[in-house]
Chain A
Amino acid sequence: MERAPVRAPLIKNLELKVGLLLATTGVLALAFIVYVLYARGTFQPTQDLILLANNAEGVTIGMPLTFSGFPIGQVKRLDLTEDGRVRIHIAVPEKDARWLRTSSQFTLEKGLVGGARIRAFSAVLSDPPLPDGAERELITGDATEDIPVIMARVKAILSNVEAMTAADSSINRALAHVDTVTGRMTGDYGVLEGVLGGPDKARKVVEALDRANTLLTSLNGISLRVDQTLAKADQRVFGSGGVMDQTDRSLAQVNAILTEVRESLKRADAILLAAQGAADNVNAITADVKGATTDLTILRVEVDDSIRKVNHLINEINRKWPFRRDVELKLP
Protein backbone atom coordinates (compact mmCIF):
# COMPACT_ATOMS: atom_id res chain seq x y z
CA MET A 1 0.00 0.00 0.00
CA GLU A 2 1.25 3.41 -0.86
CA ARG A 3 1.82 5.68 2.09
CA ALA A 4 0.91 9.30 2.53
CA PRO A 5 4.19 11.19 2.01
CA VAL A 6 3.67 13.98 4.51
CA ARG A 7 1.96 13.29 7.78
CA ALA A 8 0.90 16.68 9.07
CA PRO A 9 1.16 19.12 6.21
CA LEU A 10 -0.05 22.22 8.04
CA ILE A 11 1.88 22.53 11.27
CA LYS A 12 5.31 21.15 11.94
CA ASN A 13 5.82 19.42 15.26
CA LEU A 14 2.34 20.32 16.45
CA GLU A 15 2.33 17.71 19.20
CA LEU A 16 5.80 18.65 20.34
CA LYS A 17 5.06 22.36 20.56
CA VAL A 18 1.75 21.99 22.32
CA GLY A 19 3.20 19.34 24.59
CA LEU A 20 6.06 21.67 25.46
CA LEU A 21 3.65 24.49 26.24
CA LEU A 22 1.39 22.30 28.35
CA ALA A 23 4.28 20.70 30.19
CA THR A 24 5.83 24.09 30.95
CA THR A 25 2.51 25.42 32.14
CA GLY A 26 1.86 22.36 34.26
CA VAL A 27 5.32 22.35 35.80
CA LEU A 28 5.17 26.08 36.52
CA ALA A 29 1.67 25.80 38.01
CA LEU A 30 2.78 22.97 40.23
CA ALA A 31 5.99 24.76 41.18
CA PHE A 32 4.05 27.89 42.00
CA ILE A 33 1.59 26.00 44.18
CA VAL A 34 4.46 24.33 46.01
CA TYR A 35 6.19 27.69 46.39
CA VAL A 36 3.05 29.34 47.80
CA LEU A 37 2.55 26.42 50.19
CA TYR A 38 6.18 26.76 51.23
CA ALA A 39 5.80 30.52 51.63
CA ARG A 40 2.72 29.95 53.73
CA GLY A 41 4.78 27.70 55.97
CA THR A 42 2.98 24.46 55.17
CA PHE A 43 6.18 22.43 55.20
CA GLN A 44 7.58 23.94 58.38
CA PRO A 45 6.98 22.28 61.72
CA THR A 46 5.33 24.86 63.94
CA GLN A 47 4.48 25.19 67.56
CA ASP A 48 1.36 26.74 68.98
CA LEU A 49 1.19 29.92 70.97
CA ILE A 50 -2.09 31.09 72.39
CA LEU A 51 -2.53 34.74 73.27
CA LEU A 52 -5.43 35.89 75.41
CA ALA A 53 -6.82 39.34 74.81
CA ASN A 54 -9.86 41.28 75.88
CA ASN A 55 -10.36 42.71 72.47
CA ALA A 56 -9.04 41.32 69.23
CA GLU A 57 -10.20 44.16 67.07
CA GLY A 58 -7.89 44.49 64.08
CA VAL A 59 -6.47 40.97 64.46
CA THR A 60 -6.91 38.97 61.27
CA ILE A 61 -6.04 35.45 60.22
CA GLY A 62 -2.62 35.43 58.63
CA MET A 63 -1.41 38.45 60.58
CA PRO A 64 2.26 38.17 61.51
CA LEU A 65 3.73 38.04 65.00
CA THR A 66 6.87 40.12 64.88
CA PHE A 67 9.98 40.05 66.97
CA SER A 68 12.41 42.95 66.49
CA GLY A 69 10.51 43.77 63.33
CA PHE A 70 10.88 40.27 61.87
CA PRO A 71 7.81 38.11 61.38
CA ILE A 72 8.25 34.92 63.35
CA GLY A 73 4.70 33.60 63.42
CA GLN A 74 1.24 33.86 61.98
CA VAL A 75 -2.25 34.10 63.36
CA LYS A 76 -4.01 30.85 62.46
CA ARG A 77 -7.29 31.00 64.30
CA LEU A 78 -9.36 33.27 66.54
CA ASP A 79 -11.98 32.12 68.98
CA LEU A 80 -13.94 33.37 71.93
CA THR A 81 -13.61 31.77 75.36
CA GLU A 82 -16.50 31.12 77.76
CA ASP A 83 -15.73 34.30 79.67
CA GLY A 84 -15.82 36.46 76.56
CA ARG A 85 -12.08 36.79 76.01
CA VAL A 86 -10.37 36.20 72.72
CA ARG A 87 -7.98 33.32 72.14
CA ILE A 88 -5.57 34.06 69.32
CA HIS A 89 -3.86 30.93 68.03
CA ILE A 90 -0.48 31.68 66.55
CA ALA A 91 1.69 29.19 64.69
CA VAL A 92 5.38 29.82 65.25
CA PRO A 93 7.85 27.89 63.07
CA GLU A 94 10.09 25.84 65.30
CA LYS A 95 13.23 27.52 64.04
CA ASP A 96 11.85 30.91 65.10
CA ALA A 97 10.50 29.68 68.42
CA ARG A 98 13.87 30.28 70.08
CA TRP A 99 13.11 33.98 70.15
CA LEU A 100 10.20 33.34 72.49
CA ARG A 101 11.05 32.81 76.12
CA THR A 102 8.95 32.21 79.20
CA SER A 103 9.53 35.83 80.14
CA SER A 104 8.44 37.16 76.74
CA GLN A 105 5.77 39.81 76.59
CA PHE A 106 3.26 40.14 73.78
CA THR A 107 1.59 43.36 72.74
CA LEU A 108 -1.10 44.24 70.26
CA GLU A 109 -0.68 47.68 68.81
CA LYS A 110 -2.85 49.69 66.57
CA GLY A 111 -1.26 52.68 64.98
CA LEU A 112 -3.06 55.46 63.18
CA VAL A 113 -1.57 54.32 59.86
CA GLY A 114 -1.47 50.67 58.79
CA GLY A 115 -3.00 47.63 60.43
CA ALA A 116 -2.65 46.24 63.89
CA ARG A 117 0.55 44.47 64.89
CA ILE A 118 1.27 41.75 67.37
CA ARG A 119 4.77 42.06 68.73
CA ALA A 120 6.84 39.88 70.98
CA PHE A 121 9.45 41.22 73.39
CA SER A 122 12.00 38.92 74.90
CA ALA A 123 14.18 40.87 77.28
CA VAL A 124 16.09 37.92 78.66
CA LEU A 125 17.03 35.48 75.92
CA SER A 126 18.69 33.18 78.43
CA ASP A 127 15.35 32.29 80.02
CA PRO A 128 13.89 28.86 79.23
CA PRO A 129 12.16 28.73 75.84
CA LEU A 130 8.41 29.04 75.58
CA PRO A 131 6.79 25.57 75.52
CA ASP A 132 4.47 24.43 72.74
CA GLY A 133 0.87 25.47 73.30
CA ALA A 134 1.75 28.09 75.89
CA GLU A 135 -0.93 30.61 76.84
CA ARG A 136 0.06 34.20 77.37
CA GLU A 137 -1.67 37.48 78.02
CA LEU A 138 -1.72 39.87 75.11
CA ILE A 139 -1.13 43.41 76.26
CA THR A 140 -3.33 45.62 74.19
CA GLY A 141 -1.82 48.95 73.39
CA ASP A 142 -3.64 51.17 71.03
CA ALA A 143 -1.77 54.33 70.18
CA THR A 144 -5.02 56.25 69.95
CA GLU A 145 -6.33 54.66 73.14
CA ASP A 146 -3.14 55.42 75.00
CA ILE A 147 -2.95 59.10 74.18
CA PRO A 148 -5.53 60.08 76.85
CA VAL A 149 -3.70 57.92 79.41
CA ILE A 150 -0.41 59.56 78.59
CA MET A 151 -2.08 62.94 78.69
CA ALA A 152 -3.44 62.17 82.16
CA ARG A 153 0.05 61.19 83.28
CA VAL A 154 1.54 64.36 81.87
CA LYS A 155 -1.17 66.32 83.66
CA ALA A 156 -0.34 64.63 86.95
CA ILE A 157 3.28 65.63 86.49
CA LEU A 158 2.15 69.16 85.75
CA SER A 159 0.07 69.34 88.93
CA ASN A 160 3.18 68.36 90.89
CA VAL A 161 5.08 71.12 89.18
CA GLU A 162 2.24 73.47 90.05
CA ALA A 163 2.59 72.64 93.73
CA MET A 164 6.21 73.67 93.45
CA THR A 165 5.45 76.94 91.70
CA ALA A 166 2.57 78.14 93.87
CA ALA A 167 4.28 81.38 94.96
CA ASP A 168 6.45 82.27 92.02
CA SER A 169 5.48 83.79 88.68
CA SER A 170 8.56 82.70 86.75
CA ILE A 171 7.75 79.01 87.19
CA ASN A 172 4.15 79.75 86.38
CA ARG A 173 5.38 81.08 83.10
CA ALA A 174 7.25 77.83 82.58
CA LEU A 175 4.07 76.01 83.40
CA ALA A 176 2.37 78.01 80.69
CA HIS A 177 5.03 76.66 78.35
CA VAL A 178 4.23 73.12 79.40
CA ASP A 179 0.55 73.87 78.84
CA THR A 180 1.42 74.98 75.35
CA VAL A 181 3.24 71.69 74.91
CA THR A 182 0.28 69.66 76.03
CA GLY A 183 -1.88 71.80 73.78
CA ARG A 184 0.41 70.89 70.93
CA MET A 185 0.24 67.25 71.91
CA THR A 186 -3.50 67.24 71.54
CA GLY A 187 -3.18 68.76 68.10
CA ASP A 188 -3.00 66.62 64.97
CA TYR A 189 0.71 67.19 64.45
CA GLY A 190 1.74 66.28 67.94
CA VAL A 191 -0.14 63.00 67.81
CA LEU A 192 1.10 62.09 64.35
CA GLU A 193 4.65 62.97 65.37
CA GLY A 194 4.14 60.78 68.36
CA VAL A 195 2.96 57.82 66.38
CA LEU A 196 5.73 57.99 63.80
CA GLY A 197 8.40 58.91 66.39
CA GLY A 198 12.14 58.30 66.38
CA PRO A 199 14.23 55.77 68.28
CA ASP A 200 16.54 57.89 70.43
CA LYS A 201 13.90 59.06 72.89
CA ALA A 202 15.29 57.08 75.82
CA ARG A 203 18.66 58.74 75.52
CA LYS A 204 17.03 62.15 75.43
CA VAL A 205 14.95 61.42 78.53
CA VAL A 206 18.03 60.27 80.41
CA GLU A 207 19.90 63.39 79.29
CA ALA A 208 17.06 65.57 80.51
CA LEU A 209 17.09 63.83 83.87
CA ASP A 210 20.87 64.25 84.13
CA ARG A 211 20.49 67.93 83.52
CA ALA A 212 17.79 68.09 86.17
CA ASN A 213 20.13 66.37 88.61
CA THR A 214 22.96 68.78 87.81
CA LEU A 215 20.59 71.65 88.41
CA LEU A 216 19.51 70.22 91.73
CA THR A 217 23.14 69.94 92.77
CA SER A 218 23.69 73.55 91.88
CA LEU A 219 20.49 74.50 93.70
CA ASN A 220 21.88 72.77 96.75
CA GLY A 221 25.00 74.88 96.32
CA ILE A 222 22.85 77.98 96.21
CA SER A 223 21.05 76.95 99.37
CA LEU A 224 24.44 76.51 101.07
CA ARG A 225 25.35 79.98 99.98
CA VAL A 226 22.03 81.26 101.22
CA ASP A 227 22.80 79.59 104.56
CA GLN A 228 26.15 81.40 104.67
CA THR A 229 24.54 84.69 103.85
CA LEU A 230 21.97 84.10 106.55
CA ALA A 231 24.71 83.46 109.04
CA LYS A 232 26.36 86.70 108.03
CA ALA A 233 23.06 88.56 108.27
CA ASP A 234 22.47 87.08 111.70
CA GLN A 235 25.79 88.48 112.74
CA ARG A 236 24.96 91.85 111.42
CA VAL A 237 21.44 92.09 112.73
CA PHE A 238 21.86 90.50 116.09
CA GLY A 239 25.59 91.28 116.49
CA SER A 240 27.24 94.33 118.02
CA GLY A 241 26.64 96.65 114.99
CA GLY A 242 23.52 98.87 114.82
CA VAL A 243 20.75 96.95 113.20
CA MET A 244 18.71 99.81 111.92
CA ASP A 245 21.72 101.42 110.31
CA GLN A 246 22.48 98.29 108.40
CA THR A 247 18.94 97.71 107.21
CA ASP A 248 19.41 99.40 103.87
CA ARG A 249 22.53 97.47 103.13
CA SER A 250 21.05 94.17 104.20
CA LEU A 251 18.03 94.92 102.04
CA ALA A 252 20.42 95.43 99.17
CA GLN A 253 21.86 92.03 99.97
CA VAL A 254 18.38 90.61 100.13
CA ASN A 255 17.84 91.99 96.68
CA ALA A 256 21.05 90.38 95.51
CA ILE A 257 20.02 87.05 96.96
CA LEU A 258 16.60 87.43 95.47
CA THR A 259 18.32 87.96 92.14
CA GLU A 260 20.23 84.80 92.77
CA VAL A 261 17.05 82.97 93.62
CA ARG A 262 15.56 84.34 90.43
CA GLU A 263 18.59 83.00 88.60
CA SER A 264 18.07 79.62 90.11
CA LEU A 265 14.42 79.77 89.22
CA LYS A 266 15.43 80.50 85.67
CA ARG A 267 17.46 77.36 85.76
CA ALA A 268 14.45 75.53 87.16
CA ASP A 269 12.77 76.97 84.11
CA ALA A 270 15.45 75.22 82.11
CA ILE A 271 14.53 71.97 83.87
CA LEU A 272 11.02 72.48 82.79
CA LEU A 273 12.18 73.15 79.28
CA ALA A 274 14.03 69.88 79.48
CA ALA A 275 10.89 68.35 80.88
CA GLN A 276 9.10 69.81 77.93
CA GLY A 277 11.65 68.12 75.73
CA ALA A 278 10.95 65.00 77.71
CA ALA A 279 7.24 65.48 77.11
CA ASP A 280 7.92 65.73 73.38
CA ASN A 281 9.89 62.56 73.69
CA VAL A 282 7.01 61.00 75.56
CA ASN A 283 5.04 61.92 72.52
CA ALA A 284 7.60 60.18 70.40
CA ILE A 285 7.32 57.06 72.44
CA THR A 286 3.63 56.50 71.96
CA ALA A 287 4.33 54.06 69.15
CA ASP A 288 6.46 52.00 71.47
CA VAL A 289 3.90 51.64 74.17
CA LYS A 290 5.72 49.32 76.42
CA GLY A 291 8.88 51.38 76.33
CA ALA A 292 6.82 54.48 76.76
CA THR A 293 5.08 53.29 79.87
CA THR A 294 8.32 52.16 81.54
CA ASP A 295 10.17 55.31 80.61
CA LEU A 296 7.25 57.44 81.62
CA THR A 297 7.04 55.83 85.03
CA ILE A 298 10.75 56.38 85.60
CA LEU A 299 10.47 59.91 84.34
CA ARG A 300 7.51 60.57 86.58
CA VAL A 301 9.26 59.16 89.64
CA GLU A 302 12.33 61.21 88.90
CA VAL A 303 10.37 64.34 88.19
CA ASP A 304 8.40 63.80 91.42
CA ASP A 305 11.69 63.36 93.18
CA SER A 306 13.09 66.54 91.69
CA ILE A 307 9.97 68.43 92.58
CA ARG A 308 10.11 67.14 96.11
CA LYS A 309 13.72 68.28 96.33
CA VAL A 310 12.91 71.71 94.93
CA ASN A 311 9.92 72.02 97.29
CA HIS A 312 12.11 71.11 100.17
CA LEU A 313 14.67 73.65 99.05
CA ILE A 314 12.11 76.42 98.81
CA ASN A 315 10.73 75.56 102.23
CA GLU A 316 14.24 75.72 103.56
CA ILE A 317 14.87 79.07 101.93
CA ASN A 318 11.63 80.35 103.43
CA ARG A 319 12.57 79.02 106.84
CA LYS A 320 16.11 80.37 106.79
CA TRP A 321 15.21 83.73 105.44
CA PRO A 322 13.19 85.32 108.19
CA PHE A 323 13.53 88.82 106.78
CA ARG A 324 11.42 88.10 103.85
CA ARG A 325 8.17 88.51 105.70
CA ASP A 326 9.60 91.33 107.80
CA VAL A 327 10.74 93.24 104.75
CA GLU A 328 7.35 92.83 103.19
CA LEU A 329 5.74 94.02 106.38
CA LYS A 330 8.04 96.99 106.59
CA LEU A 331 7.87 98.16 103.06
CA PRO A 332 4.33 99.52 102.87
Chain B
Amino acid sequence: MHTALRFLTRIGGGALGWLQAWGRLLTFGARALVETFTPAVYNSATRSVVLKQIYFTAWQILPGFLLFAALLSYVIIQIVVTTARDFGLSEFALEVSVRVVVLETLPLLTVLFVALRSGAAINTEVALMNINNEIRALEDVGVDPMRFEFTPRVIGGAISVYALTLLSCILALILAYIAVYGFQPWSLSDFSRVIAKIFTPTAFLTLTVKSLLFGLAVTLIPIRAGLEAPRMLFFAPIAVLRGMVRLFFVIMFIEVASLALVYM
Protein backbone atom coordinates (compact mmCIF):
# COMPACT_ATOMS: atom_id res chain seq x y z
CA MET B 1 0.00 0.00 0.00
CA HIS B 2 2.69 2.35 1.02
CA THR B 3 4.87 1.44 -1.98
CA ALA B 4 1.92 1.85 -4.34
CA LEU B 5 1.19 5.25 -2.89
CA ARG B 6 4.78 6.27 -3.26
CA PHE B 7 4.83 4.97 -6.82
CA LEU B 8 1.70 6.96 -7.69
CA THR B 9 3.12 10.06 -6.05
CA ARG B 10 6.26 9.72 -8.08
CA ILE B 11 4.34 9.27 -11.34
CA GLY B 12 2.10 12.22 -10.50
CA GLY B 13 5.08 14.35 -9.58
CA GLY B 14 6.85 13.40 -12.80
CA ALA B 15 3.80 14.20 -14.92
CA LEU B 16 3.31 17.49 -13.11
CA GLY B 17 6.94 18.43 -13.60
CA TRP B 18 6.69 17.52 -17.25
CA LEU B 19 3.56 19.61 -17.69
CA GLN B 20 5.11 22.51 -15.81
CA ALA B 21 8.20 22.40 -18.02
CA TRP B 22 6.07 22.57 -21.15
CA GLY B 23 3.91 25.25 -19.57
CA ARG B 24 6.98 27.34 -18.80
CA LEU B 25 8.20 26.79 -22.34
CA LEU B 26 4.90 28.02 -23.76
CA THR B 27 4.85 31.04 -21.44
CA PHE B 28 8.39 31.82 -22.44
CA GLY B 29 7.54 31.48 -26.12
CA ALA B 30 4.51 33.71 -25.74
CA ARG B 31 6.61 36.33 -23.96
CA ALA B 32 9.28 36.17 -26.66
CA LEU B 33 6.61 36.56 -29.32
CA VAL B 34 5.03 39.53 -27.57
CA GLU B 35 8.46 41.15 -27.23
CA THR B 36 9.18 40.44 -30.88
CA PHE B 37 6.37 42.79 -31.76
CA THR B 38 7.24 45.39 -29.15
CA PRO B 39 9.15 48.22 -30.87
CA ALA B 40 10.85 49.25 -27.59
CA VAL B 41 12.76 45.97 -27.62
CA TYR B 42 14.69 46.99 -30.69
CA ASN B 43 17.55 49.14 -29.58
CA SER B 44 21.12 49.28 -30.72
CA ALA B 45 22.21 46.44 -28.43
CA THR B 46 19.44 43.98 -29.25
CA ARG B 47 19.69 44.69 -32.94
CA SER B 48 23.32 43.72 -32.89
CA VAL B 49 22.42 40.44 -31.15
CA VAL B 50 19.81 39.73 -33.84
CA LEU B 51 22.36 40.46 -36.55
CA LYS B 52 24.97 38.23 -34.91
CA GLN B 53 22.48 35.44 -34.49
CA ILE B 54 21.55 35.59 -38.17
CA TYR B 55 25.22 35.77 -39.07
CA PHE B 56 26.12 32.70 -37.03
CA THR B 57 23.02 30.69 -37.86
CA ALA B 58 22.51 31.45 -41.54
CA TRP B 59 25.40 33.30 -43.13
CA GLN B 60 28.20 31.12 -41.84
CA ILE B 61 26.68 27.87 -43.05
CA LEU B 62 25.12 29.25 -46.22
CA PRO B 63 27.51 27.91 -48.92
CA GLY B 64 27.92 24.47 -47.38
CA PHE B 65 24.27 24.13 -46.59
CA LEU B 66 23.11 25.21 -50.03
CA LEU B 67 25.54 22.81 -51.66
CA PHE B 68 24.33 19.95 -49.50
CA ALA B 69 20.66 20.86 -50.02
CA ALA B 70 21.22 21.08 -53.78
CA LEU B 71 22.90 17.68 -53.92
CA LEU B 72 20.28 15.99 -51.79
CA SER B 73 17.33 17.55 -53.65
CA TYR B 74 18.84 16.72 -57.02
CA VAL B 75 19.29 13.09 -56.02
CA ILE B 76 15.76 12.80 -54.62
CA ILE B 77 14.25 14.52 -57.65
CA GLN B 78 16.18 12.26 -60.01
CA ILE B 79 15.00 9.16 -58.14
CA VAL B 80 11.38 10.28 -58.23
CA VAL B 81 11.55 11.27 -61.90
CA THR B 82 13.20 8.02 -62.97
CA THR B 83 10.84 5.87 -60.94
CA ALA B 84 7.82 7.74 -62.24
CA ARG B 85 9.04 7.27 -65.80
CA ASP B 86 9.45 3.53 -65.22
CA PHE B 87 5.87 3.28 -64.05
CA GLY B 88 4.58 5.44 -66.87
CA LEU B 89 3.58 8.25 -64.53
CA SER B 90 6.07 10.86 -65.72
CA GLU B 91 3.37 13.53 -65.86
CA PHE B 92 3.21 13.35 -62.07
CA ALA B 93 6.99 13.24 -61.56
CA LEU B 94 7.54 16.97 -61.20
CA GLU B 95 4.59 17.44 -58.89
CA VAL B 96 5.57 14.53 -56.67
CA SER B 97 9.22 15.52 -56.47
CA VAL B 98 8.45 19.17 -55.71
CA ARG B 99 5.98 18.14 -53.04
CA VAL B 100 8.44 15.73 -51.47
CA VAL B 101 11.50 17.95 -51.66
CA VAL B 102 10.30 21.52 -51.40
CA LEU B 103 7.28 21.17 -49.17
CA GLU B 104 8.55 18.49 -46.81
CA THR B 105 12.19 17.46 -47.00
CA LEU B 106 13.98 20.80 -47.22
CA PRO B 107 12.17 22.60 -44.40
CA LEU B 108 12.75 19.62 -42.15
CA LEU B 109 16.35 19.25 -43.23
CA THR B 110 17.02 22.94 -42.66
CA VAL B 111 15.60 22.95 -39.18
CA LEU B 112 17.43 19.75 -38.23
CA PHE B 113 20.68 21.24 -39.48
CA VAL B 114 20.15 24.48 -37.59
CA ALA B 115 19.02 22.56 -34.50
CA LEU B 116 22.15 20.46 -34.51
CA ARG B 117 24.40 23.43 -34.99
CA SER B 118 22.92 26.61 -33.58
CA GLY B 119 20.32 24.98 -31.35
CA ALA B 120 22.94 23.00 -29.49
CA ALA B 121 25.23 26.05 -29.31
CA ILE B 122 22.51 28.29 -27.94
CA ASN B 123 21.49 25.64 -25.45
CA THR B 124 25.03 25.33 -24.15
CA GLU B 125 25.65 29.04 -24.05
CA VAL B 126 22.46 29.82 -22.18
CA ALA B 127 23.07 26.96 -19.76
CA LEU B 128 26.57 28.29 -19.07
CA MET B 129 25.32 31.87 -18.80
CA ASN B 130 22.78 30.70 -16.31
CA ILE B 131 25.26 28.64 -14.31
CA ASN B 132 27.87 31.43 -14.30
CA ASN B 133 25.33 33.95 -13.10
CA GLU B 134 25.90 36.14 -16.14
CA ILE B 135 22.16 36.60 -16.41
CA ARG B 136 21.98 38.17 -12.93
CA ALA B 137 25.00 40.31 -13.82
CA LEU B 138 23.22 41.67 -16.88
CA GLU B 139 20.11 42.41 -14.84
CA ASP B 140 22.24 44.21 -12.31
CA VAL B 141 23.59 46.66 -14.86
CA GLY B 142 20.07 47.37 -16.06
CA VAL B 143 20.05 45.13 -19.12
CA ASP B 144 17.01 42.89 -19.31
CA PRO B 145 18.46 39.50 -20.29
CA MET B 146 15.18 38.43 -21.86
CA ARG B 147 15.20 41.43 -24.13
CA PHE B 148 18.93 41.56 -24.68
CA GLU B 149 19.90 37.92 -24.98
CA PHE B 150 16.84 35.73 -25.60
CA THR B 151 14.27 37.51 -27.70
CA PRO B 152 16.86 38.66 -30.27
CA ARG B 153 18.11 35.11 -30.57
CA VAL B 154 14.58 33.84 -31.14
CA ILE B 155 14.01 36.49 -33.80
CA GLY B 156 17.39 35.85 -35.43
CA GLY B 157 16.89 32.10 -35.32
CA ALA B 158 13.44 32.26 -36.87
CA ILE B 159 14.64 34.60 -39.62
CA SER B 160 17.65 32.37 -40.28
CA VAL B 161 15.63 29.19 -40.56
CA TYR B 162 13.14 30.93 -42.82
CA ALA B 163 15.88 32.37 -45.04
CA LEU B 164 17.74 29.05 -45.30
CA THR B 165 14.51 27.19 -46.07
CA LEU B 166 13.50 29.68 -48.71
CA LEU B 167 16.89 29.79 -50.40
CA SER B 168 17.25 26.01 -50.47
CA CYS B 169 13.66 25.57 -51.71
CA ILE B 170 14.15 27.98 -54.57
CA LEU B 171 17.40 26.26 -55.45
CA ALA B 172 15.57 22.93 -55.40
CA LEU B 173 12.84 24.28 -57.68
CA ILE B 174 15.46 25.35 -60.20
CA LEU B 175 17.11 21.94 -59.95
CA ALA B 176 13.74 20.22 -60.35
CA TYR B 177 13.18 22.14 -63.56
CA ILE B 178 16.58 21.11 -64.88
CA ALA B 179 16.10 17.48 -63.80
CA VAL B 180 12.70 17.16 -65.47
CA TYR B 181 12.99 19.36 -68.56
CA GLY B 182 16.72 19.63 -69.06
CA PHE B 183 18.73 22.79 -69.53
CA GLN B 184 16.35 24.76 -71.74
CA PRO B 185 13.82 27.51 -71.10
CA TRP B 186 10.90 26.39 -73.29
CA SER B 187 9.08 24.25 -70.75
CA LEU B 188 8.60 27.12 -68.35
CA SER B 189 4.86 27.24 -68.95
CA ASP B 190 4.49 23.53 -68.13
CA PHE B 191 6.58 24.09 -65.04
CA SER B 192 4.50 27.11 -64.05
CA ARG B 193 1.34 25.07 -64.34
CA VAL B 194 2.64 22.43 -61.95
CA ILE B 195 3.90 25.09 -59.54
CA ALA B 196 0.52 26.78 -59.67
CA LYS B 197 -1.10 23.47 -58.84
CA ILE B 198 1.20 22.78 -55.89
CA PHE B 199 1.49 26.23 -54.35
CA THR B 200 -2.09 26.89 -53.47
CA PRO B 201 -2.57 29.61 -50.85
CA THR B 202 -3.01 26.83 -48.27
CA ALA B 203 0.21 25.10 -49.23
CA PHE B 204 2.08 28.39 -49.23
CA LEU B 205 0.71 29.37 -45.85
CA THR B 206 1.44 25.95 -44.39
CA LEU B 207 5.02 26.08 -45.62
CA THR B 208 5.56 29.59 -44.26
CA VAL B 209 3.96 28.91 -40.88
CA LYS B 210 5.73 25.59 -40.56
CA SER B 211 9.06 27.15 -41.34
CA LEU B 212 8.49 29.99 -38.85
CA LEU B 213 7.40 27.54 -36.15
CA PHE B 214 10.53 25.52 -36.82
CA GLY B 215 12.58 28.69 -36.44
CA LEU B 216 10.89 29.54 -33.14
CA ALA B 217 11.28 26.00 -31.80
CA VAL B 218 14.93 25.80 -32.71
CA THR B 219 15.80 28.76 -30.49
CA LEU B 220 13.07 28.84 -27.85
CA ILE B 221 13.47 25.27 -26.66
CA PRO B 222 17.27 25.36 -26.24
CA ILE B 223 17.09 28.72 -24.43
CA ARG B 224 14.40 27.47 -22.10
CA ALA B 225 16.27 24.23 -21.47
CA GLY B 226 19.44 26.20 -20.69
CA LEU B 227 17.57 28.40 -18.25
CA GLU B 228 16.02 25.44 -16.48
CA ALA B 229 19.34 23.87 -15.57
CA PRO B 230 20.18 24.07 -11.87
CA ARG B 231 23.10 26.42 -11.35
CA MET B 232 25.79 23.78 -11.09
CA LEU B 233 28.33 23.20 -13.78
CA PHE B 234 27.75 19.46 -14.12
CA PHE B 235 24.14 20.15 -15.10
CA ALA B 236 25.21 21.84 -18.32
CA PRO B 237 25.40 18.62 -20.41
CA ILE B 238 22.09 17.45 -18.96
CA ALA B 239 20.47 20.73 -19.90
CA VAL B 240 21.75 20.42 -23.46
CA LEU B 241 20.63 16.82 -23.69
CA ARG B 242 17.12 17.63 -22.44
CA GLY B 243 16.82 20.61 -24.69
CA MET B 244 17.90 18.71 -27.77
CA VAL B 245 15.54 15.79 -27.14
CA ARG B 246 12.65 18.14 -26.53
CA LEU B 247 13.56 20.09 -29.66
CA PHE B 248 13.59 16.91 -31.74
CA PHE B 249 10.13 15.92 -30.60
CA VAL B 250 8.73 19.39 -31.17
CA ILE B 251 10.18 19.50 -34.70
CA MET B 252 8.69 16.11 -35.49
CA PHE B 253 5.38 17.13 -33.99
CA ILE B 254 5.25 20.29 -36.12
CA GLU B 255 6.14 18.27 -39.23
CA VAL B 256 3.53 15.58 -38.60
CA ALA B 257 0.89 18.14 -37.68
CA SER B 258 1.53 20.09 -40.88
CA LEU B 259 1.33 16.89 -42.93
CA ALA B 260 -1.92 15.95 -41.24
CA LEU B 261 -3.29 19.43 -41.85
CA VAL B 262 -2.45 19.42 -45.55
CA TYR B 263 -3.19 15.84 -46.53
CA MET B 264 -6.20 15.02 -44.36
Contact = CB atoms under 8 A, between A and B. Distances in A.
A159 interface: no
Interface in B83-123: 91
Interface in B13-52: 48, 51-52
Dominant SS at the A interface? helix
A18 B54 contact: yes
Given A21-B59, A22-B159, A62 B197 contact: yes
A18 B197 CA distance: 34
Contacts of A21: 54, 58-59, 62, 163
A18 B48 CA distance: 11
B2 interface: no
Most chain A Cβ neighbours within 10 Å, of B162, B196, B204: B196
Contacts of B55: 11, 14, 17-18
A277 interface: no
B192 A22 contact: no
A28 B166 contact: yes
A28 B204 contact: no
B192 A38 contact: yes
Contacts of B58: 21
Interface residues of B, number: 23
Contacts of A32: 166, 170
Contacts of A15: 51
B142 to A, nearest CB: 22
Interface of B: 48, 51-52, 54-55, 58-59, 62, 91, 159, 162-163, 166-167, 170, 192-193, 195-197, 199-200, 204
A38 B196 CA distance: 8
Given A18-B59, A22-B163, 18 more contacts: A14-B48, A15-B51, A18-B54, A21-B62, A25-B162, A25-B163, A32-B166, A32-B170, A36-B195, A36-B196, A38-B192, A39-B192, A40-B196, A40-B199, A41-B196, A62-B196, A62-B197, A64-B193
A251 interface: no
16 contacts: A11-B52, A14-B48, A14-B55, A15-B51, A17-B59, A18-B59, A21-B62, A29-B166, A35-B192, A36-B195, A36-B199, A39-B192, A39-B195, A39-B196, A40-B196, A62-B196
A24 interface: yes
Contacts of B162: 25
A33 B62 CA distance: 22
A71 interface: yes
Nearest to A10: B52
B54 A22 contact: yes
